[in-house]
Amino acid sequence: ARFFEYARFHGPLALFGTRHRRDWVMGQCEEFSRAGYALLASLGWEARYVLDFTDHVWIEVKLPHLETGTIGWVHADPSEGVLDSPLMYENGWGKQLTMIFAFTPWNVEHVTQTYTANYPETVLRRGIPENLLHDVVQAANKRLQYELPISKWGYATFSSKNRSLEEVSLWSHFQAN
């Protein structure tokens, strides 16, 4: 077995450049999610970064849901190449989830309920009462209102509202040669 030294890459160009230098070994979930977020935002999609406190990150993209047609945030995991499978971490990976947050430059949202089939168990595991967590998220969002730019960037001229789930599966089109 060869020794492999893992490094963190900052920015999508550095990450994509690994295909020549490291035989397509591009990184871990954080790098894939950064690249996926950057790619989607640059193409006009509304996207946000999702952090699971049990050590995983992915993104969500605003799309119409296939079954209901209502526009909302859809789970997208670029490191796994998976779309709209929010229970995969708990059911498939066996994770004991605690807290999951979604971030945009203007907002933090507690989204754990989207990613678990048994929310009360996550509340017990995390050790922070619901009302205290709500207050902390609300305080963070209030602070963001005063510290970040008023105008949006990345998807200022486009919206995800008229796009489909199939259109966002961009990473399925990139294959190693």
Query: Which residues are the active-site residues?
Result: 29, 56, 77
Show the tokens assigned to 5.
């030294």
Q: Exposure string (b/e) for 24-39, b if CB count within 10 Å is 16 or more?
A: eebbebbbbbbbbbbb
| Interatomic CA distance for residues 52 and 116, integer angstroms | 12
Show the tokens assigned to 85.
């499978």
Select from 63, 119, 66, 65 the least CA-distant residue to 90. Answer: 119
Q: Which segments of the chain does DSSP mark as H helices, in order?
A: 12-16, 18-21, 29-42, 119-126, 130-147, 165-168
